[in-house]
A = this chain, B = another copy of it.
């Protein structure tokens, strides 16, 4: 790899003004990048973000500066292809930030790539990219190096990946993040039904996430399903009678935990 210092990135055009565009834009600006323009069809959002980033708002893809070094398309997955098609041909590198869209949706552009931060981004919660894995993809080594440079400047951890791998990472992240958060929500609701504060569970939630930082999840699995404790499972299913969907989840988890345990036991 060439030394990072040999990489210069003139300026960045941000396309989109949603959560990802906002948090990424703010972090890029903080890291010292010049934000040449923010392009958004909803001009109020675009204007607001441009002001925050000390940049210019444009409301048409035809109007973006043509001499930027990097064009980041941070729009809804379903809109990436049409945005890419409308964006004029440029010398700079054109990337999207989607976990599911392949690199190939940017086929119009000579230099294309993916810059996918593996972090859940909320409007309400400030995003810090420090140590966040950023998955990078491009067909050109030099462009990969540019994306790695950008990730490093954000103090994130760049990680080279193919579109196929990225799809699976995205799916795994849905299980580990979105579904996990929904389980937290179920627990919140169950406690609320008995007038108990969710705070009671916070140390356990923290500890469960902490354990897998060093242990393989399957090896630290506990609970009634793991020890095949039918009586407790029955008692829990009864408690869930008012919540048919959570009851189904409970049932399916119990089966899945038992099957996984059986499979790994028979391997040993």
Hey, which bits of chain A sit against chain B, CB under 8 A? 77-78, 100, 118-122, 124-125, 131-133, 159, 161, 164-165, 167-188, 190-191, 193-196, 198, 200-213, 215-226, 229, 231-232, 235-236, 239-240, 245-246, 248-250, 252-253, 255-257, 259-260
- Interface of chain A: mostly helix, strand, loop or mixed: helix
Please measure, in the bound complex, the distance between the C-alpha atom of A208 and the C-alpha atom of B182, giving whole angstroms.
11
Q: Is A187 within 8 A of B176, CB to CB?
A: yes
Please measure, in the bound complex, the distance between the C-alpha atom of A219 and the C-alpha atom of B183, giving whole angstroms.
13
Please measure, in the bound complex, the distance between the C-alpha atom of A214 and the C-alpha atom of B217, giving whole angstroms.
25
This chain's copy number in the assembly: 2
Please measure, in the bound complex, the distance between the C-alpha atom of A78 and the C-alpha atom of B206, giving whole angstroms.
29
**How near does chain B come to A169, taking the closest CB pair, in angstroms?**
6
> Inside 8 A of A182's CB, which chain B residues have their CB?
217, 221, 253, 256-257, 260
Please measure, in the bound complex, the distance between the C-alpha atom of A206 and the C-alpha atom of B202, giving whole angstroms.
13
Q: Is B171 within 8 A of A190, CB to CB?
A: yes
> Inside 8 A of A176's CB, which chain B residues have their CB?
183-184, 187, 201, 204-205, 208
